[in-house]
Amino acid sequence: KTPSLTTDCVVRDNEKRVLLVRRKSEPAKGGFALPGGFVDIGETVEAACRREVLEETGITVGALHLVGVYSDPRRDPRGHNVSIAYTARVAGSPQPRAGSDAEAAMWIEDWRSLDLGFDHAWIIADAAKIESR
């Protein structure tokens, strides 16, 4: 038995806001999180990342930049999930629309004021270090 593979994406708009979803299901039901999810068999992690962002927010992302690999066995209460996290920029500020397992999708300026699910605050902070280079 091995860990499950997931992906998360830190998407920013022209105003440097972060795209977050309000989760429709457990874990962290009703809480905020990055768009992301499980990689399907036969799918690249990059394709999964773009698919999950589109499914959960209705927003299409292009170029992805690797943020890191997050593998703490306790990062997800459902079990050991390893996430490959990316960051992406979108032109303008397209209007997100919730889909898939997201109750809502929105651009958030002050994400630090929210209690984010999983290790997503850490991922966003790591992405900010990369984006500032």
Q: Tokens 């979108």 appear where?
A: 90
Q: Tokens 């066995």 appear where?
A: 73
Mean pLDDT of the chain: 95
Work out the percent of the chain whose per-residue pLDDT is above 90: 87
Span 32-79, pLDDT tens digits: 999 999 999 999 999 999 999 999 999 999 999 999 999 999 999 999
pLDDT higher than threshold 80 for residue 133:
no
Work out the percent of the chain whose per-residue pLDDT is above 70: 100
Instruction: Tell me how far apart the alpha carbons of residues 78 and 96 are, in angstroms, rounded to a whole number.
Output: 27
**What pLDDT score does 132 carry?**
79
- In this prediction, residues 69-96 reach a mean pLDDT of 95
Instruction: Tell me how far apart the alpha carbons of residues 84 and 62 are, in angstroms, rounded to a whole number.
Output: 16
CB contact set of 120 (below 8 Å; sequence gap of 6+): 8, 32, 33, 34
Span 12-37, pLDDT tens digits: 999 999 999 999 988 989 999 999 99
- In this prediction, residues 79-99 reach a mean pLDDT of 95
Q: What is the pTM of this model?
A: 0.95
